[in-house]
Structure 1
Amino acid sequence: MRISIPAVVLAAAALSASIEPAPAAAAAPAITWSIEREARRDDQVQLTLRARWGSRHHNSNWSSGVALSELSGLDPRRLAAPAATPVRFALLREAGRIDCTGTAARRAGRGSCGFTPDAGFAADLARRGVGRPNADRLFALAMSNVGRGHLDALAAARLPKPSLEQLTALGIHGATPGYIRAIAAAYPRLRGLDAENLVAFRIHGVTPELLRAYASLNERALAADDVTAMAIHGVTPAFIAELSKLGYRRIPASDLVQMRIFGVTPAFIRSVHARRGALPSASELVQARLFGDRGRAR
């Protein structure tokens, strides 16, 4: 299963973004910001930035839960003032800095921002063979909070260099350098792992624990797409651990997926095992779920 990276939209997660491509020589954007109260946490707010790059047909919208500590220069007392109060803050990222001013009251506010791209970061990306981002792509990289650490983690794991779009998507979907390192270390024989797979892993909730659990059943090379399929269909570390306790070894990922799709549970396996007297194979268990277990107890 492959993910189409250019459509970088994260639903029901910490960061959502909508990006439309800009001309190669984009003018400085008009950026507006708004902050809303985060109901569940006093040390965090919901920050939304909307950037317009000189054309009504090119806009980018970003919304994220942001810790107050990330908003450099923001006075929390001004943010919580009972009446409209001038505020200023900056988001400092490797791709550039975003300086914002406006007014706020009762932990909500709005205003405008300016973006200063980091030319050194752009040059470093070009030097590393990722590409030379223009201003709007640097803004996207800044908002997705990716940097050299992502590239270092990919290189350390000997994974392919990402495109600029893929690098942005890694940040949007929360594939941090630590996550990249942990995934690579959990199953060194993972085939086809790249930035697109890492994004898919984050979207579908793949954890290093899932990979380590699979390694306890099967030491063969494993395709990254099969890992995504396992996560989609609910193959969990706990499910794999139960199979291991029952005596299963060397079960391919495709069989685990089939077992979950057709509702093969540890309890069902034990019942079939008890009636047949032999540990049933994955295909036999699926057949038993589909057509009923006609095996006879010995």
Structure 2
Amino acid sequence: MMMTRFVRASVLGLAIAAMPGRAAAQGDAEIAWSIAPTGRMAADTRMITFRYPAEGGRTGSTGSARSVDEMAGLDAAALAGPAESPVRFTLAGDPGRLECEGTAGGGRGSGRCAYQPAPGFAGEMERLGAPRPSSADQLELLIHGVELAQMRELRRLGYRDLEPDRLIAMQIFYVTLDFAREATAFGDPDRSLDELVSLKHGGVSLAYLRALREAGYTRLTFRQIEEMHRHRTR
């Protein structure tokens, strides 16, 4: 049991390690962005990294895999072109918006963004029973694509630990709402986002969850699912 708790803590730690400095961003804060090509993603997806002022005078950074379409206004032809060209794009969501400009070419790009947090977002999170996020939290939630609809569905599924770090960990480990629904259907009364992320990080797939159900398993805790998957893969 102590080892299981350690693994779960380690999973959240891995996610937090991907966010090395808590942002100290406020409205109108200037954020640096960069895009680099990677062969491990779909052709229309790029890893975009943001660097921003962090607490204590440090610089924080975090990255997220985003499709080119999500970066509204980004000229895909300019990004892929052989020579650097000026580009502009907007990354917007429930937590706020980033208005970005810079240059791009050869699959790479860099520049700066102005950040504006959405004024009503913090109150909406509080109404869902989550801690009130700071402007810095909102920036990181925006970068990782966390939306209120996702939080509302997680709340409906019975999850109460809707802290920003846990929501971001879901995005980092590609824990989709379909995965959350399928796992939750097994009825673990003590389910949490930490355990949900731990399932996915441990190699449990949506297909595996569905295979368990088809095999006749209907009531399992997340811990039991982890153990079954671990023994299966030995």
TM-score bracket for this pair, using the shorter chain length:
0.7 to 0.9
Q: Displacement of 1:101 after TM fit?
A: 0.7
SS at match of 1:48: strand
Q: Deviations over 1:86-145 (max 9, x none)?
A: 111111121111111111122211111121111212110012220211111001111221
- 1:224 equivalent among 222, 225, 231: 222
Distance in 2 between residues matched to 1:150 and 1:45, nearest whole Å: 22
Q: Counterpart amino acid of 1:129?
A: G
**Letter paired with 2:45:** Q
Q: Spell out, residue by residue over 1:262-293, the C-alpha distance to the aligned partner (whole angstroms, 9 max, x if none).
A: xxxxxxxxxxxxxxxxxxxxxxxxxxxxxxxx
Amino acid paired to 1:78: A
Q: TM-score scaled by structure 2?
A: 0.82
Aligned twin of 1:235:
232
Deviations 1:44-101 (A, max 9, x none): 22211112236433x3322233211111001122223332211111111211111111
Determine the C-alpha separation between the residues in 2 that align with 1:193 and 1:66.
29
Mapping of residues 32-181 of structure 1, within 5 Å: 32-39=32-39, 41-53=42-54, 55-57=56-58, 59-181=59-181
> Identity of aligned pairs, percent?
28
Q: What is aligned with 1:288?
A: none
Partner in structure 2 of residue 198 of structure 1: 196
**Aligned residue among 7, 20, 26 for 2:13:** 7
Cα gap change, 1:167 to 1:37, in 2 (>3 Å): closer
* Counterpart AA for 2:222: A
Q: For structure 1, which runs of at least 5 residues remain unmatched after alignment?
A: 11-15, 237-259, 261-298
Give the letter aligned to residue 192 of structure 2.
Answer: D
Instruction: Work out whether residues 191 and 224 of structure 1, in 8 Å CA contact, stay in contact via their aligned partners in 2.
Output: no
Q: Any conservation in 2 of the 1:29–1:53 contact (CA below 8 Å)?
A: no
The one-letter amino acid of 2:148's match is: R
Q: Which runs of 5+ in 2 are unaligned?
A: none
**Cα distance, 1:28 vs. partner?**
5.6
Question: Which residue identity is paired with 2:209?
Answer: L
Tell me if the contact between 1:44 and 1:67 (Cα under 8 Å) persists in the aligned partners: yes
Q: Which residue of 2 is the match for residue 207 of structure 1? A: 205
Compare 73-82 and 159-168 and name the one that shifted more: 159-168
Q: Which has the larger radius of gyration?
A: 1
Conserved 8 A contact 2:51-2:60: yes
2:178 maps to amino acid: G
Contact 1:45-1:65 within 8 A present in 2 as well: yes
RMSD between aligned residues: 2.8
Relative distance call for 1:6 and 1:197 in structure 2 (3 A) is closer
Q: CA deviation at 1:168?
A: 2.4
What one-letter code is carried by the residue in structure 2 that aligns with 1:155? R
Distance 1:151 1:36 in 2: 30
Alpha-carbon spacing, 1:65–1:27, altered in 2? closer, same or farther (3 Å): closer
Q: Which stretch shows the higher mean deviation, 220-229 or 71-80?
A: 220-229
Partner SS for 1:119? coil
CA distance in 1, matches of 2:214, 2:38: 41
The question of whether the paired residues in 1 share the 8 Å contact of 2:128 and 2:155 is answered with: no
Question: Does structure 2 conserve the Cα–Cα contact (< 8 Å) formed by 1:79 and 1:107?
Answer: yes
What letter is aligned with 1:86? P
CA contact under 8 A between 1:9 and 1:18: conserved in structure 2? yes
Tell me if the contact between 2:180 and 2:196 (Cα under 8 Å) persists in the aligned partners: yes
TM-score normalized with structure 1 length: 0.66
